[in-house]
Structure 1
Amino acid sequence: MFNFYNLFSSSSGNCSYIETESTKLLIDCGLSAKKIEESLKQLNSSLSKINGILITHEHSDHTKALKTICKNYDIPIYANKKTHYAISKTTEISNKKYFLNDEAFDLGELKIKPFSIPHDAADPVAYNIANADKKISIATDIGHIDKNLVNNLVGSNFILLESNYDFELLKNSSYPYNLKQRIAGPFGHL
């Protein structure tokens, strides 16, 4: 068994869930812990069964539930050093796990490979997650497609590539000019 569920994906919050027979993990937790728990219950799972949370970057639409989750559960939170540091400015995490970008590590039955992506955060990553002969790639909040991203997606059986950018919608939005420039720039969003 190697199941992937994209629970939420938008500027309001991001969270994905992967499960195998013995390993269950979240990628990001950008909504309330209550909403995440409700979604997991629909899949016959719960936060109490999660073996780890992989964080892509520190923005609140990827980390909103961290404070509540860390207060109520002893789930390891995986991120690189710069991302953990950025998160530590607002959230205390007691069970921190560090990784180096481009160096694979094991989490239960899964082989996790974080790799750098272009986005305006401390040190944002996407993930390749493999189990036996299957590979899932999860890449959210990408400013542009670069060679590193393409090379890391090669051989994937499933790719989640978030692209919710709409130039006309952005241009006509009430966002301040500097935010519009950030979103439309090479380290913003596809």
Structure 2
Amino acid sequence: MRFASLGSGSEGNALVVEAASGHTTTRVLLDCGFSAKELERRLARLQYGIDALDAIVITHEHSDHIGSALTLARKWSLPLYMSWGTAKAVGADNADIDLHVLWGDETVSIGDLEVRPYTVPHDAREPLQFVFSDGARRLGVLTDVGTSTPHITAMLTGCDALVLECNHDTRMLATSRYPQSLKARIGGNHGHLSNDAAAQILSALDRTRLTHVVAAHLSQQNNSPELAQAALAHVLGSATEEVMVATQELGFDWLGCGAG
């Protein structure tokens, strides 16, 4: 199993997760927060087209995650997976698409991938985050969440790779030019994770299998890659540069999930 980001941040998010078994390969897009044209351009960096995707999975209805998902699902006859609350929020329940409704903690199989959604606190209708598995390795994804919960810890512990939101530095957010209401939303329990909060989540996990940690969904105004890397590296006891960062423009290239 391997994974790559097409971009991560407030201007658009998309993550490709791929698993192979024998002569078959399954390729799933987690979130589709770009226009169809831009998504095609970014997929081309991985030498793929939209026709290489087997399904699109959506975390929640915010525009930097839903983007062109309905358009692509309709045009390319792609199965679209999301919670019922998200489907209602974006009108997918009445759209001419192949809609699959997800429920928290109910694993679904998409080809060679097992996809387990789990519920998180965020300011959306029915947001989900995900753990992907090929039966041997586990990739945990956690972005767009305001605070940790015991359930989040239970879902992410023991993963082989982790994509973890480091949205903002608390001090930078507090002194930014954002209006107070926006600061409160971002920093609240249904907003986004600070670097320190992400580090606390990481520290609570069983990390014995963990080979890759990627800091994701960084604010371009209220964070820096160096601060996010330092917070996670401190927990890992690693060099700062060993923590990868998913950037808005480039995301990150393929990473294998686990050793071997």
Fold agreement, TM-score > 0.5:
yes
**Partner Cα separation in structure 1 for residue 46 and residue 96 of structure 2:** 26
Post-superposition Cα deviations, 1:112-151, rounded to whole Å, max 9, x if no partner, equal 1000011111111110100021000111111011111110
**Partner Cα separation in structure 2 for residue 168 and residue 35 of structure 1:** 33
* 2:139 aligned partner, one-letter code: I
Q: Post-superposition shift, 1:177?
A: 2.7
Give the corresponding residue for 2:186.
183
Structure 1 unaligned segments of length 5 or more: list them: none
Kept after mapping to 1: 8 A contact 2:26/2:111: yes
Give the corresponding residue for 2:7.
8
Give the greater-gyration-radius structure (CA): 2
**Partner Cα separation in structure 1 for residue 127 and residue 85 of structure 2:** 9
Structure 2 unaligned segments of length 5 or more: list them: 194-260
- Farther off after superposition, 131-140 or 166-175: 166-175
Give the corresponding residue for 1:19.
18
Task: Tell me the percent identity.
Answer: 34
Kept after mapping to 2: 8 A contact 1:9/1:162: no
Give the corresponding residue for 1:74.
77
Kept after mapping to 2: 8 A contact 1:138/1:161: yes
Q: Greater RCO between the two (CA within 8 Å, min separation 6)?
A: 2
**Partner Cα separation in structure 2 for residue 66 and residue 176 of structure 1:** 31
- Farther off after superposition, 104-113 or 35-44: 35-44
Give the corresponding residue for 2:153.
150
Q: Post-superposition shift, 1:34?
A: 1.8
Of 65, 78, 83, 2:86 maps to 83
Kept after mapping to 2: 8 A contact 1:70/1:93: no
- Farther off after superposition, 49-58 or 160-169: 160-169
Kept after mapping to 2: 8 A contact 1:14/1:30: yes
Post-superposition Cα deviations, 1:32-76, rounded to whole Å, max 9, x if no partner, equal 222221221221211112111110011001011224313421111
Q: Does 1:113 align with 2:112?
A: no
Q: Where does structure 1 differ by over 4 angstroms across 4 or more consecutive aligned residues?
A: none
Of 5, 23, 34, 2:37 maps to 34
Q: Post-superposition shift, 1:93?
A: 5.3
**Partner Cα separation in structure 2 for residue 65 and residue 169 of structure 1:** 32
What is the TM-score with the length of structure 1 in the denominator? Answer: 0.92
* 2:65 aligned partner, one-letter code: H
CA RMSD of aligned residues (A): 1.9
- Farther off after superposition, 113-122 or 32-41: 32-41
